[in-house]
C-alpha cells in the first residue's frame, strides 16, 4: 500500500493526545464521583469495566481510519493481462493463390488474420512478415491496428516457401536487430547469436507448402527457443501432394506437416492444421498468448472512510445503550 498524500499521515500524531484526553476525562469523572460519595450521594451504576471502554476504543480506531483516509491510501492490485509482441509471418508463395479455400488461400488467411488482430488488446504489439523466396518485414511490431491491417491487405502471393527466412526475419522484427544463424561447418550443431530473452513474444507462422530454402528452419527454431519466443505454425491444405492450377500453370505442392510440428515442439508452441476456411478461423481463436500480471494502484480512500463511519455508528449506539451518552 502507498499514499498519494503521505504528509497527511502527520495527523496521526493527534491520536495519542486524544487517548490522553480520554484518560484525563475518566480521572475527572472518578474524582466527581468520589466527591459525591463524600456527601452521601450515590452515583448511578457504571457499566462493567470491560465494555465501558469499548465505545471510546471504537471511536479511536475510527479516528485513525479517518486520518489515514486523508492521506489517500492506494492498494496494490494484480491485474492479469496480455502483453508482448506477435509477428504474423505469412507464406506468400505462388501456391497461396490457390482457390481450394474461398476465395483463395491468401485471402482466407488474410481475413482470419485481420479478425485475430482486431481482437488483441492495446498492450499487444503486432507485426507482419512476408516470406516467399526470402523474408521481408512489411510492418514493424506496433500497437496501431490500422497500420497492421493495411500491411496484411498489401500481401500478394509470389515466390517460393523459405521457412527459415520467414522465421529469421520474424526474430529480427521482435529483437529489433539483424538475426544471424551460423552455417554448420562440422559435426557440431550450428549456433546463433545471443538474442536476449523475449518470453512475451510469439510468431504465428502460416505456410501451405514445403520449405524451399537451403537453410534448415529447425536451426532458426532453436534460436527462437533460446530467446523464449514461441512459434505457432499453421498449415494450410493437407500433407498429400496436390496439383494446383495457378495463372494457367500446373503447380505441385504439398504441406510438410512433420517439419511444422517439429518447429512448434522445439519452441514450446502448438501446430494447427487448417483444412478449410472455418478451421482456419478457429485456429486463430485457439492461439493463446502469454498472460502476465501487472501491479496497479487503486485508491481505497472511500473504504477507509466507510469503515470509520461504521465504527463511529456502532460505538455511538453502544455508548448510548450502556451509559446514556456518546463518550
Are 88 and 196 in the same domain? yes
Are 285 and 302 in the same domain? no
Number of DSSP helices (H) and strands (E) in the chain, helices first: 10, 11
User: How far is residue 101's CA from residue 235's CA, in Å, rounded to a whole number?
Assistant: 13
pLDDT greater than 70 at residue 28: yes
Nearest to 194 by CA among 223, 228, 230: 223
Cβ atoms of 64 and 287 within 8 Å: the answer is no
Torsion 169-170-176-181 (CA) sign: negative
Are 143 and 56 in the same domain? no
Are 277 and 213 in the same domain? yes
pLDDT greater than 70 at residue 193: no
Whichever domain contains 142, its CATH number is 3.40.50.410
Are 162 and 183 in the same domain? yes
C-alpha torsion angle, residues 288, 289, 291, 297 (rounded to 10): -130
Q: How confident is the model at residue 288 (pLDDT cuts 50, 70, 90)?
A: low
Are 68 and 96 in the same domain? no
Number of domains in the chain: 2
DSSP secondary-structure letter at 181?
Answer: B
Are 111 and 233 in the same domain? yes
pLDDT greater than 70 at residue 64: yes
Q: Which three cell numbers stand for residue 86?
A: 506477435
DSSP secondary-structure letter at 46?
Answer: P
Q: Which three cell numbers stand for residue 303?
A: 473504504
**Better-scored residue on pLDDT, 306 or 322:** 306
**Better-scored residue on pLDDT, 275 or 74:** 74
Are 166 and 182 in the same domain? yes
Are 148 and 240 in the same domain? yes
pLDDT greater than 80 at residue 280: no
Nearest to 216 by CA among 165, 258, 272: 165
Task: Find the mean pLDDT for residues 124-153.
Answer: 92
Are 242 and 309 in the same domain? no
Task: Supply the range of the domain harboring residue 112.
Answer: 84-289
- Percentage of the chain beyond pLDDT 70 is 82
pLDDT greater than 80 at residue 77: no
- What's the pLDDT score for residue 187? 39
- What's the pLDDT score for residue 296? 76
Mean pLDDT estimate for the chain: 82
- What's the pLDDT score for residue 245? 63
Instruction: Tell me the range of 6-10, 53-57, 77-81, 278-282 where mean pLDDT is highest.
Output: 6-10
- What's the pLDDT score for residue 99? 77
Helix (H, G, I), strand (E, B) or coil at 18: helix
Are 274 and 309 in the same domain? no
Are 160 and 189 in the same domain? yes
pLDDT tens figures, 172-192? 999 988 887 765 443 344 445
CB-facing half-sphere around the CA of 52: CA atoms within 13 A? 8
pLDDT greater than 70 at residue 65: yes
Amino acid at each position: 500500500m502507498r499514499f498519494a498524500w503521505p504528509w497527511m499521515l502527520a495527523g496521526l500524531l493527534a491520536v495519542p493526545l486524544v487517548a490522553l484526553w480520554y484518560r484525563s476525562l475518566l480521572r475527572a469523572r472518578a474524582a466527581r464521583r468520589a466527591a459525591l460519595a463524600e456527601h452521601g450521594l450515590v452515583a448511578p451504576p457504571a457499566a462493567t469495566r470491560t465494555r465501558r471502554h469499548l465505545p471510546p476504543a471504537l471511536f479511536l480506531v475510527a479516528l485513525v481510519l479517518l486520518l489515514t483516509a486523508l492521506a489517500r491510501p492506494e492498494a496494490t492490485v494484480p491485474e492479469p493481462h496480455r502483453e508482448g509482441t506477435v509477428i504474423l509471418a505469412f507464406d506468400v508463395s505462388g501456391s497461396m493463390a490457390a482457390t481450394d479455400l474461398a476465395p483463395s488461400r491468401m485471402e482466407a488467411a488474410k481475413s482470419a488474420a485481420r479478425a485475430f488482430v482486431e481482437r488483441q488488446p492495446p498492450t499487444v504489439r503486432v507485426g507482419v512478415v512476408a516470406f516467399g523466396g526470402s523474408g521481408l518485414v512489411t510492418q514493424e511490431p506496433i500497437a496501431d491496428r490500422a497500420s497492421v491491417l493495411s500491411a496484411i491487405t498489401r500481401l500478394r502471393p509470389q515466390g517460393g516457401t523459405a521457412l527459415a527466412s520467414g522465421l529469421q526475419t520474424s526474430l529480427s522484427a521482435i529483437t529489433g536487430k539483424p538475426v544471424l544463424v551460423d552455417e554448420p561447418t562440422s559435426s557440431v550443431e550450428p549456433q546463433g547469436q545471443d538474442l536476449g530473452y523475449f518470453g512475451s513474444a510469439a510468431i504465428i507462422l502460416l505456410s501451405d507448402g514445403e520449405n524451399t530454402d537451403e537453410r534448415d528452419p529447425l536451426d532458426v527454431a532453436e534460436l527462437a527457443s533460446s530467446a523464449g519466443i514461441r512459434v505457432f505454425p499453421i498449415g494450410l491444405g493437407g500433407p498429400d501432394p496436390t496439383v494446383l492450377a495457378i495463372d494457367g500453370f500446373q503447380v505441385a505442392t504439398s504441406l510438410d506437416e512433420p517439419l511444422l510440428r517439429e518447429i512448434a515442439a522445439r519452441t514450446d508452441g502448438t501446430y494447427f492444421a487448417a483444412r478449410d476456411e472455418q478451421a482456419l478461423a478457429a485456429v486463430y481463436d485457439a492461439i493463446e498468448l502469454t498472460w502476465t500480471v501487472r501491479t496497479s494502484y487503486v485508491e481505497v480512500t472511500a473504504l477507509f472512510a466507510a469503515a470509520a463511519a461504521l465504527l463511529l455508528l456502532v460505538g455511538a449506539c453502544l455508548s448510548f445503550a450502556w451509559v446514556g451518552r456518546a463518550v
